[in-house]
A and B are shown apart, each in its own frame.
Chain A
Amino acid sequence: MSLIGSEATFIAVLAPFAAAIVAPTLTRLLAHNAAWPLALVPAAIFLFFAGLVPEVAGGVSFTPMVDWAPSYGVTFSFFVDGLSTLFALLISGIGTFIILYSGGYLKGHPQQGRFFSFMFLFMGAMLGLVLGNDLITLFIFWELTSITSFLLIGFDHLRAASRRAAIQALVVTGGGGLSLLAGFLVIMAVTGEANMSAVLASGDTLRDSGLYALILVLVLGGAFTKSAQFPFHFWLPNAMEAPTPVSAFLHSATMVKAGVYLLMRMHPVLGDTALWTTILPVFGGATLLVGTILAVRQTDLKLMLAYTTVASLGLLVMLTGTSWEKAIEGAALYLLAHSLFKGALFMVAGTIDHEAGTRDITRLGGLRKAMPITFAAACLAALSMSGLPPFVGFIAKEYLYTGIWGGAGANYALTATAVLGNALMLVIAAAVALKPFLGPKVETPKHAHEGPVLLYAGPVVLSLVGLASALLAHDTGVLVIGPVVSSILGVPSTVDVHLVPTHIGAALYLSLGTIALGVVLFLRLDALRAGTAGLLTAIGWGPDKGFDQVIAGIVSFSAWVTRTVQGGRMEVYMTMTFLITAAALLVPMTVAGTWPTSFAMPGFRFYEWGVLAIAAAGLVAVLIARTRLTAIVSLGIQGFAVALIFMLFGAPDLSFTQFMVETLSVVILALVMTRLNLQPRDHRPMMARLCHSAIALAIGVGFAGLLIQITSAPFDRRLSDFFEAYSRTIAHGRNIVNVILVDFRGFDTLGEISVVMITGLCVLALIRVRPKRSAEEALDLAAGDEAVRKREEARV
């Protein structure tokens, strides 16, 4: 049955991209019902990866591969093991219900097809990210998720808040992506491997490398921004501007987990060092606390969930950062649990918003009768989030407490952080699941009733899976969690998962303590909210505001640079250009001390001196000409002198051409200049004249010196010899110059005659195109037709 090593994996990753192409057309045909056929795509992908589970659980990893850019050693290859399979299952499984949910949520939206398209693009990018084996492939999919999430967050692009959130997410995660790329490049340089599977097999190479700290910081720069770790957490809540299906998909199970995925993936080679076990728990723990505290303050359902997502990501990073086996087991379980309950709760929040018209928790209540199915799903998911039995969230908490408590070192601080964080998460879970549904009926903007099946299918199924995976704890452990833990630790390991704790220990007491603390806090939620709100107002400034200031600063700075560098004055541009040219000519020669020292007086014949003198005289005459005729004639003189120089030094072709060109130049100059005034005097002020003369002289001296230097060096005749030897023998022509033009370098000439023709066309266009009004009148027109009419009258 082994499809696994074949191209099937490629098809699985590329299928969402294909779906993205057909989605708009399908939506045009079927309207929102297009969700049903479209959902078959992720469902099929889910079934495919589900079929791989037994083999992967048997400890087999696969790396199918095709060449992508062979000259750079980049392959398009995928790595299927426990960790990537779990992620692929979550992406495609939750994705199936998200697609269905989008069908209901955006029913009748004019851009629903585009929305499906973006969703599938994102899904494909995400699958590519978690399955990517080649580091460059992985990076490209990583950035693709940033770009597609930009499109999704900014989907409602007519609102400024959406645009801001989209740009913020792109800047933060895209910037982190660059850091990640740098990290990957260093990893490739250190290990000499381009594939993740090979890097993972490199053992302690990275840890023992002198560049370990650099690699770790760069990789963490990517992972922390993507997974919204403090202080980069601010983009995630802002991204709630997106339609709810986007939040449910990106910010629960997929996009933001990419950073966690990367940390888990690299753990075997980067983890378990002093640096790792310091940085990750500190940042993760801080994120957990900041996330939960900020969540308590909110009254918007989606924002509450968003901040608990930040907190959960912090918890995952903290657990991964301990590198303790039991904590890793807890992280793997929590990863599964969080994806299921958070996806479900986001969809519940969206359904409430969709049906009741608001998601402000203070304006909701008593919906249990109107929306019984949604209420049931919300309760199931919230129980899992609270960590109560018999849900997978409970098991996860048992394991992570066991892991932290059982470890060594700073476990008291970690335990306290985890208990407080989990208790606050229980508060939020209870608030989200209970407040809108219980209590007296509150009047909502829309008359609330149960949504269509498209809307409740997702929450119900996901929360039931959360229940089922706990009830079938043993199978979950063998098939899913064990392979994941093996991947994270880098050694084959089996995890025995039990729903019922095997012994009464610290973990159970901690769990009970968490629940008790949570319930107490929940009962005082309003006071808690007021307290945190007061605290945050007192601080007043956060990274979110800082982002705005940074962006405004960049805009102002670039505007300043543009104004300074491009003042819009031709004279200044010219002067700057030539000043730099002069420096480029003179400075290297001065620094390297290669100024020509000797000047050999040549044995010129008298007529040769004459030609040179005519050229010089022509130039000076152009410079001092006071009438246009003098200027044109002088220009002609220097041109004909150049033609004579060509003639004297064995270039008859050039000489003829130059003669013809100078004749034509004089003709057309005479034709045009009869219309243009040549000011009798150069009306530059004396200072400018002196300055410009100095620059011009410097460049003149520079070129003369350069040329003397070049010509006093021995001449490399190889190219000329080639043309001389083969002009007649191969190309059958005796005029070597012409043979070079039309035969040896014919392709160049083809380009050059194209340029000649294009200038001809441009000249014609310039002469033909005549605006109907003069510029002055056009300005008047802009000021108002009235002015023009007055002018017309005045003329009459």
Chain B
Amino acid sequence: MEATVSVLIGLFFAVAIYLLMSRQLVRILLGIAILGNAVNLLIFTSGRLLREVPPIIPEALQVPGETIANPLPQALILTAIVISFSFLAFLLVLAFRAYQELGTDDTNEMRVAEPTGDVRPPQGY
């Protein structure tokens, strides 16, 4: 069961990384959004998959009565989802503001802070 999902996760990574290597901000943003899902699924799957038994202890028991889904990766991922979302929002706004200021969404044209010409290091003391 994990093996098939693993292959899907591989696809998630491949798509995310292909998009990230683009020069267009929009594609990079899409790549980041997908990369977040890819990593979350990676953590989720490495904690093993189990169908339809949420990690909730029944009312009558003190400890889970049957085998339940692994709660630990779920706790890790829950915060990761929220944080990756807030970062996506941040990057989105950053990209948008950069687009507004520079009038381009091509990373190769966003090099206003890079030195131009042949830059010699400072010599002397």
> A interface vs B, CB < 8 Å?
160, 163-164, 167, 552, 555-556, 558-559, 563, 568-571, 574-575, 578, 596, 599-604, 612, 615-616, 619-620, 622-623, 628, 631, 635, 638-639, 642, 645-646, 648-654, 657-658, 661, 664-665, 668-669, 672-673, 675-679, 682-684, 692-693, 695-697, 699-705, 707-708, 710-712, 715, 717, 719-720, 723-725, 727-729, 734-737, 740-741, 745, 748-749, 752, 755-756, 759-760, 762-763, 766-767, 771, 774-775
Beyond A669-B92, A735-B55, A774-B101, list 16 extra A-B contacts (CB 8 Å): A555-B123, A568-B114, A574-B20, A574-B21, A603-B1, A604-B4, A615-B12, A623-B18, A639-B37, A651-B54, A669-B29, A695-B21, A703-B6, A711-B48, A736-B71, A741-B79
Please report the number of residue pairs spanning A and B whose Cβ atoms sit closer than 8 angstroms.
Answer: 294
| Neighbouring B residues of A651 by C-beta, 8 Å | 44, 54-55, 69, 74, 77
Q: A711-B2, A728-B62 are in contact. Are A696 and B15 (CB under 8 A)?
A: yes
23 A-B residue pairs with Cβ-Cβ distance under 8 Å, sorted by A, are A556-B121, A570-B107, A571-B23, A571-B108, A600-B3, A601-B4, A602-B1, A631-B26, A635-B34, A638-B37, A648-B52, A649-B49, A695-B17, A696-B15, A700-B12, A700-B15, A708-B2, A720-B70, A724-B64, A729-B62, A740-B72, A752-B79, A767-B97
Q: In the assembled complex, which residues on chain B have CB atoms less than 8 Å from the CB atom of A705?
A: 10
CB distance from A227 to the nearest CB of B (A): 24
Residue of B nearest to A613 (CB): B8
**SS class of chain A's interface: helix, strand, loop or mixed?**
helix
Residues B56 and A658 in contact, CB atoms below 8 Å apart:
no
Q: How long is the Cα–Cα vector from A712 to B92 in the complex, in angstroms?
A: 38
Q: Are B33 and A665 closer than 8 Å at their CB atoms?
A: yes
* Complexed CA–CA distance, A749 and B97 (Å): 30
Is B63's CB under 8 angstroms from A696's CB?
no
Q: Which listed residue (B3, B95, B119) contacts A676, Cβ 8 A?
A: B95
Q: Is the CB of A734 within 8 A of B56?
A: yes
Residue contact A676 to B42, C-beta cutoff 8 Å: no
Q: Which residues of B contact A683 (CB under 8 A)?
A: 23-24
Max chain A C-beta neighbours (<10 A), residue from B1, B49, B74, B83: B74
State the CA gap A774–B92 with chains docked (Å): 20
Interface hits, B63-87 → A, CB 8 Å: 63-64, 68-72, 74-75, 77-79, 81-83, 85-87
The reply to whether B72 and A723 form a contact with Cβ atoms under 8 Å apart is yes
B114: chain A residues at CB < 8 Å are 568
B6–A682 CB distance below 8 A: no
| Size of B's binding interface in residues, CB under 8 A | 99
- Per a CB cutoff under 8 Å, which of A571, A574, A631, A759 touches B86? A759
Indicate if B117 sits at the interface (CB-CB under 8 A). Answer: no
**Cross-interface CB contact of A700 among B14, B26, B51, B74, cutoff 8 Å:** B14
Q: A604-B4, A727-B57 are in contact. Are A756 and B86 (CB under 8 A)?
A: yes
> CA of A692 to CA of B18 in the docked complex: distance in angstroms?
6
